[in-house]
Structure 1
Amino acid sequence: MVPLAHAAVLKNYLDVSQQFNINPYYLLSNVGLNQTLLKDLKQRIPADKAIELLEKSAQLSGCEMFGLHMAEQRQLSDFGELSLLLSYQETLRDALQVIVRYRNLINNALEIYIEEVNNTVIIRLEVISGSSAYSRQAIELALGITHRFCAALLFQKWHPLSVHFTHDAPHDQSVHQRIFGCSLEFGSEFNGIVCTAAELNKANPHANIAMANHAQRYLDIDILQHKNESSIIFEIRKSIYLLLPMGRATINQIAQTHGMNVRTLQRRLEASQTSFSDLINDVRRSLVLRYLKNINYSLAQVSDILGYSMPSSFTRWFISQFSMTPTTWRSVNKNALDQ
């Protein structure tokens, strides 16, 4: 399937482009997007094209934080109809669960998983394009928007512990510090935000159960209208991206996440001429290069993240996929990794 996103993901793209003296109309055309879509932000556009636009804009402008600059100007109202439901939730935890449930109405490429251990909560996030290419700009845009949403809902009383990125740190972290205002972890095992459970349980002063129920009924109709836009294969792949580094990408866990039993999941995958092991392998191929590019990770750590109990098993798998050892791959790509 082609992942779709509301054109609203590009809101204020023109302003940020002009801020960095690049021609936004040329770049829109270059990636195959029509500039008129920015006048109707409810249009659904290929997420891959939006991601390509962000990456090309960052490259041409020379700004490593292009996506983050876009996020800095976002408001809760930018969630469209969903903003009404979010505004009336009782707690931040409830509001985040709403985003998890309705994320495909905003962006099919977005995947969110909330993990809670004791008093610590990790809001894991990935933007997974149809090409599986990693996008620094899309990740920072999504994390920036998520952070601003939490702050808006709690009237700036939102204090996360840390924000994590799997990519390397920029040369200048001042923009990240200004926007997030907390500890920053680059080259991390995951993309996401860490906070206390108490933060998620903070009350929303504008909570209104009756209005929330009314907004939810409206959005549930919208879900029915778009239910065929989301491929089960793509949805399973998104879940694997998030759960594999956590050691939870088992067929039982994935089936449970999607509200079905294992046999039902297997039948649906078979009907699409694939298997769970094929999808696991596909995701591993994408993730392994992301982690190998991070020289702070030892091969043993990469092996563990990808779910291999023995580094030797990881090495054999890597050779079967890329016709060289992980050590050789790093050596061949050393110049790129050092930049």
Structure 2
Amino acid sequence: MEVDVSRLLHLVETLEQSGTNGETVDKVLKNSGLTRKDLAPTAKSFSYKKEVLFVREASEALRDLTFGARAGLTWKVSNSLTGYISKYSKDLRAAIENTARFHEIIDPAVQYDLRISGNFAAFEVRWKDASYAKFHRHTEFLMFAVLSRMRAISQSSFYPIEIRFQHEVRRSAGDFQKLAGFPVIFGAETLEMILPLAVLDLPIPTYDLRLREHLTEYGERLLSEQGRVKQTLRSKIEGILTSALPARMLTSDEVAASVGMSARTFARRLNEEGTSFRDVVDELRFDLSKTFMKDDMSLSEIAFALGYADQAAFSTAFKRWTGVSPSSFRAQD
């Protein structure tokens, strides 16, 4: 899936302003599958996955878990279709509801809904492609970027009641709250932003009914013309496995049943994609283990979160992946 280049340019600018040098920026780009040519003035779009990887690599280069959140909080201008629809909506509630309809045009991974409950509103984000849920730093970027855009179009520096993330960050939780200036919750059941009801009534000064109607008509046309982005079986599996964690790693038969396949068909389809269920589980565990280490989780917590019987079993697997023990790997950081 290709996405607009403007967010990547903003992320690169944020990294450059973080006191790092050009060599580090080039290394982060390279590790994300990008080059300086991808940032040329003629560039229009690039792979969504590369943006996700850039946030992770930049956070690791800076040794700063809050990089994605910081970049999100300074994201002001969106030149996407949904960006313009929100800009010309009547109030913040209309902007959220109008753009939710067309968000899948610009983002292959998530969709969102506005839920009203009692005296607050929940801006709830759900994964269309749950394989992206493992990229915690990019998830933080997206949520804080949404908040920044809401503030920008309403020209109001309002504060949410809280933002809730499903993943954990352990000792760094206070850093996120200090950065945000309001409660930031980790380990929640749902990925969402909780807003005071009054925020939904904030007027948007750039409201233009005619332009908004023209853009939504165009959006409807795009939706009818574009087919649904087809997920690979591997992506579906990663999403199912990630959703079942912590502590429970589903079996091949359980996941096959979840996607409506027999065990034989399941194995054959994975083979056609050049992989196996065991490889998917192994690579997902390895990827998540590195993220959990960055999140300051203890080795016993990581072993539990990834569904290992004990810390020793996790340590054996990690040494097979990297050639070094988890504690040695962490000491190298």
Shared fold (TM-score greater than 0.5)?
yes
State whether residues 131 and 236 of structure 2, in contact with CA within 8 Å, keep that contact through their aligned partners in structure 1: no
Q: CA deviation at 1:214?
A: 1.6
The residue aligned with 1:315 is none
Determine if the alignment matches structure 1 residue 111 to structure 2 residue 111.
yes
State whether residues 109 and 128 of structure 1, in contact with CA within 8 Å, keep that contact through their aligned partners in structure 2: yes
Instruction: Return closer, same or farther for 1:174/1:168 CA change in 2, 3 Å cut-off.
Output: closer
The residue aligned with 2:82 is 82
Alignment of 1:288-303 (within 5 A): none
The residue aligned with 2:71 is 70
State whether residues 162 and 182 of structure 2, in contact with CA within 8 Å, keep that contact through their aligned partners in structure 1: yes
Q: CA deviation at 1:331?
A: 7.7
Q: CA deviation at 1:54?
A: 1.5
In structure 2, what is the Cα distance between the partners aligned to 1:269 and 1:224? Answer: 27
The residue aligned with 2:153 is 153
In structure 2, what is the Cα distance between the partners aligned to 1:14 and 1:149? Answer: 18
The residue aligned with 2:121 is 121
Equivalent position amino acid for 1:120 in 2:
F
Determine if the alignment matches structure 1 residue 52 to structure 2 residue 33.
no
CA-based RMSD of the aligned residues comes to: 4.3
Which sections of structure 1, spanning at least 5 residues, go unmatched? 246-267, 275-284, 296-317
Instruction: Return closer, same or farther for 1:32/1:206 CA change in 2, 3 Å cut-off.
Output: closer
In structure 1, what is the Cα distance between the partners aligned to 2:168 and 2:185? Answer: 9
The residue aligned with 2:7 is 9
Equivalent position amino acid for 2:8 in 1:
L
Instruction: Return closer, same or farther for 1:158/1:44 CA change in 2, 3 Å cut-off.
Output: same
In structure 1, what is the Cα distance between the partners aligned to 2:64 and 2:58? Answer: 8
Equivalent position amino acid for 1:135 in 2:
F
What is the count of residue pairs matched by the alignment? 272
In structure 2, what is the Cα distance between the partners aligned to 1:331 and 1:191? Answer: 32
State whether residues 126 and 139 of structure 1, in contact with CA within 8 Å, keep that contact through their aligned partners in structure 2: no
The residue aligned with 2:96 is 96
Equivalent position amino acid for 1:10 in 2:
L
Determine if the alignment matches structure 1 residue 26 to structure 2 residue 19.
no
Instruction: Return closer, same or farther for 1:152/1:133 CA change in 2, 3 Å cut-off.
Output: closer
Partner secondary structure for residue 78 of structure 1: coil
Equivalent position amino acid for 2:6 in 1:
A
State whether residues 162 and 193 of structure 2, in contact with CA within 8 Å, keep that contact through their aligned partners in structure 1: yes
Alignment of 1:327-338 (within 5 A): 328=309, 332-333=313-314
Equivalent position amino acid for 1:38 in 2:
L
In structure 2, what is the Cα distance between the partners aligned to 1:181 and 1:187? Answer: 19
In structure 2, what is the Cα distance between the partners aligned to 1:28 and 1:171? Answer: 25
The residue aligned with 2:140 is 140
CA offset digits 1:214-241 (Å, max 9, x no partner):
222233344445x12622789x969x98
Q: CA deviation at 1:190?
A: 2.5
State whether residues 4 and 109 of structure 1, in contact with CA within 8 Å, keep that contact through their aligned partners in structure 2: no
Q: CA deviation at 1:53?
A: 1.9
CA offset digits 1:36-71 (Å, max 9, x no partner):
232358733222222122112211221111112221
Structure 1 length as normaliser, TM-score? 0.64
Which sections of structure 2, spanning at least 5 residues, go unmatched? 245-258, 267-280, 298-304, 316-324
Instruction: Return closer, same or farther for 1:151/1:101 CA change in 2, 3 Å cut-off.
Output: same
CA offset digits 1:80-113 (Å, max 9, x no partner):
3433221121121211123322222322122323
State whether residues 87 and 206 of structure 1, in contact with CA within 8 Å, keep that contact through their aligned partners in structure 2: yes
Partner secondary structure for residue 116 of structure 1: strand
Instruction: Return closer, same or farther for 1:29/1:168 CA change in 2, 3 Å cut-off.
Output: closer
State whether residues 69 and 137 of structure 2, in contact with CA within 8 Å, keep that contact through their aligned partners in structure 1: yes
Instruction: Return closer, same or farther for 1:336/1:30 CA change in 2, 3 Å cut-off.
Output: closer
State whether residues 129 and 231 of structure 2, in contact with CA within 8 Å, keep that contact through their aligned partners in structure 1: no
Q: CA deviation at 1:34?
A: 3.4
Q: CA deviation at 1:134?
A: 0.8
Instruction: Return closer, same or farther for 1:31/1:143 CA change in 2, 3 Å cut-off.
Output: same
Instruction: Return closer, same or farther for 1:41/1:135 CA change in 2, 3 Å cut-off.
Output: farther
Structure 2 length as normaliser, TM-score? 0.65
Equivalent position amino acid for 1:13 in 2:
L
The residue aligned with 1:217 is 217
Q: CA deviation at 1:183?
A: 1.6
State whether residues 161 and 182 of structure 1, in contact with CA within 8 Å, keep that contact through their aligned partners in structure 2: yes
In structure 2, what is the Cα distance between the partners aligned to 1:40 and 1:98? Answer: 30
Instruction: Return closer, same or farther for 1:36/1:107 CA change in 2, 3 Å cut-off.
Output: farther
